[in-house]
Structure 1
Amino acid sequence: MIEVFKTYLKEKGSFSDVELKQIESVTTIKKLRKRQYLLQEGDVWKYNAFITKGCVRTYTVDEKGNEHILNFAVENWWTGDRESLFSGKPSVYNIDALEDSQVALITKENFNLLCKEIPAFNNMVTLILEKSFIVSQSRIQSFISSSAEEKYLKFLETFPHLPMRVPQGMIASYLGITAETLSRIRKNALKK
Structure 2
Amino acid sequence: MSTHQLLGQTLHLLPEKGIFWEEKNYLILADLHLGKAGHFRKSGIPISDLIHSKDILILDKLIAKFKPQQVIFLGDLFHSDHNQGWEVFKRWIKSKAPLPFKLVLGNHDVLDESSYRISNLEVMEKLSLHPFDLTHIPEETELYNLAGHIHPAVRLTGKGRQSLRLPCFYFGKKNGLLPAFGNFTGTAKINIDKTDAVFAIADNKVVRVN
**TM-score scaled to structure 2, two decimals?**
0.22
Higher strand share: 2
Higher helix share: 1
**Larger RCO (CA within 8 A; separation ≥ 6):** 1
**TM-score scaled to structure 1, two decimals?**
0.24
Larger Rg: 1
